[in-house]
Amino acid sequence: MRRYRSIAALRRDNAACVRCSDAGYPIAPPPVLGAVHGQRAFLFGLAPGALEAAAGRPWRGRAGRALRRWLRLDEEELERVFYCGSVTRCFPGRAAAGRGDRAATAEEQRLCASWAEEELRLLRPALVVTVGAVAARRLLGVERLADAVGKSFAFGEAVAVPLPHPSGASGWLNEPANRARLGKALTHVRREIAGLAEPER
């Protein structure tokens, strides 16, 4: 894995990445990369959808609206607070059967992993928020969302808080106990965000 000296150099190479298409996966580069301007929080989602790919910005679709409602942040605030990374960064295309987008394979996730690893090394965020089961598993080794949502984890020097995916596709939030877990997690994330706004002592 290449070690980058600057986030600008990493993002320049990430923007031109074609690892998955070179490996034969039906993925649609270019990657969707969030803005960078000294954020101290890192948001780690699954993959961009069609709307994000069209806009070239993260969290533009229905799931993004739900996530912003959860966090009480508008589009601008979300990107001001969080550097937005994801498990895979290119739109994976629609699922061949059924609703929704194709799930990127474990190999695509592996091919993409170094971008987030290097981002985290260079940015050294104080807060990491994972969104969805795949992101929590990749970054925190969490096996079951129910065991993790509502809790916080040490992640290097950062505090990591897992959230479920806001798309609602899994039905995980239909369970009242899981909605209570989400409420606890959101209280924690909002408190951490408020703490980031305070001057460092």
Binding site residues, ligand SF4, CB under 6 A: 14, 17-20, 27, 29, 31, 88-90, 108, 111-112
Per the DSSP assignment, residues forming a β-bridge with 101 are 94
Q: Which is nearer to ligand SF4, 78 or 90 (CB)?
A: 90
Q: Which is nearer to ligand SF4, 17 or 185 (CB)?
A: 17
Residue 24 CB, nearest approach to ligand SF4 (Å):
11
Contacts of 96 (CB under 8 A, 6+ apart): 102
Residue 98 CB, nearest approach to ligand SF4 (Å):
22
Contacts of 26 (CB under 8 A, 6+ apart): 92, 93, 102
- 102, 94 Cβ separation under 8 angstroms: yes
Q: Which is nearer to ligand SF4, 18 or 169 (CB)?
A: 18
Q: Which is nearer to ligand SF4, 60 or 89 (CB)?
A: 89
Give the Cα separation of 99 and 64 in Å (integer). 18
Residue 4 CB, nearest approach to ligand SF4 (Å):
14
- Helix (H) or strand (E) run with residue 82 in it: strand 82-86
Please compute Rg for the chain using Cα positions. Answer: 16
Q: Which is nearer to ligand SF4, 7 or 126 (CB)?
A: 7
Residue 17 CB, nearest approach to ligand SF4 (Å):
3
Q: Which is nearer to ligand SF4, 48 or 150 (CB)?
A: 48
Residue 104 CB, nearest approach to ligand SF4 (Å):
7
Residue 74 CB, nearest approach to ligand SF4 (Å):
27
Closest alpha carbon to 88 in 172, 3, 40, 28: 28
* Nearest-10 Cα torsion for 70, 72, 77, 78: -10
Write phi, then psi, for 175 (nearest 5 degrees): -80, 120
